[in-house]
Amino acid sequence: MTELLIAIAAGLVENPDAVTATVDEANEEGVVVYHLHVAEDDMGRVIGKQGRIAKAIRTVMRAAANRNGQKVAVEID
């Protein structure tokens, strides 16, 4: 899942080497939180107009996790 998140974000940004992701342990509801870190200049590219790209990233991650029987959330830091 982490590789998927990094691959999606790296395709969107100018500086793909600065893209990293960290994972938190599952909380009491079983949701695993992924934190996406990008360069300061690329933040707008990952969020998109009115958050559309960020919403699309979250949707793709949720769909992939659902196939594995997991629950995920993505936060862009």
To the question of pTM greater than 0.75 for the whole model, the response is yes
pLDDT tens readout for residues 27-37: 999 999 999 99
Structural domains of the chain, with CATH? 2-76 (3.30.300.20)
Residues 17-69 pLDDT 10s: 999 999 999 899 999 999 999 999 999 999 999 999 999 999 999 999 999 89
DSSP 4-55: HHHHHHHTT-S-GGG-EEEEPPP-TT-EEEEEEE--GGGHHHHH-GGGHHHH
